[in-house]
Amino acid sequence: MEDIAGPDPDKYRKALRLLRRRRKYLFGTILVYIPALLVTQRVSPTDRSMGIVFGVWFAALFYFALLSAVTRCPRCGNYFHVNGMMMLYLRRCLHCQHHINADRNQTRQSQGRCIQ
């Protein structure tokens, strides 16, 4: 596994934690869409209410997608999910292939060595 290289591993840990949190917000927003529309359909089945819920959901989706897209990789300093015009929400940096759970894997490996 890749080793967390650099002068400050806490900086890596904080940056990757922020990245994971922003991704959770984005994917949570995506998962909320259908249940929100179903609840709105039961409460107020008008086109206007459905349009308002869709507009609010789309604004939240846009905000969280933008927020997670502009998060930088702590290793290379480039955007983690953006390379040129391509935006992919993969688990590795699109530039240096740094894994999103590299700090967790590092901790697990060091704990495993201490136990054995």
pLDDT digits (tens, 9 = 90+) for 88-115: 888 888 888 888 888 877 666 555 554 4
Three-state SS for 40?
helix
CB 55 within 8 A of CB 31: no
Report pLDDT for 110: 58
- pTM score: 0.75
Task: Give 42-61 pLDDT, tens digit per residue.
Answer: 999 899 999 999 999 999 99
For residue 1, pLDDT over 90 is answered with: no
Report pLDDT for 114: 47
CA–CA distance, 9 with 11 (Å, rounded to integer)? 5
What DSSP state is assigned to residue 100?
T
Phi, psi (5° rounding) for residue 106? -60, -45
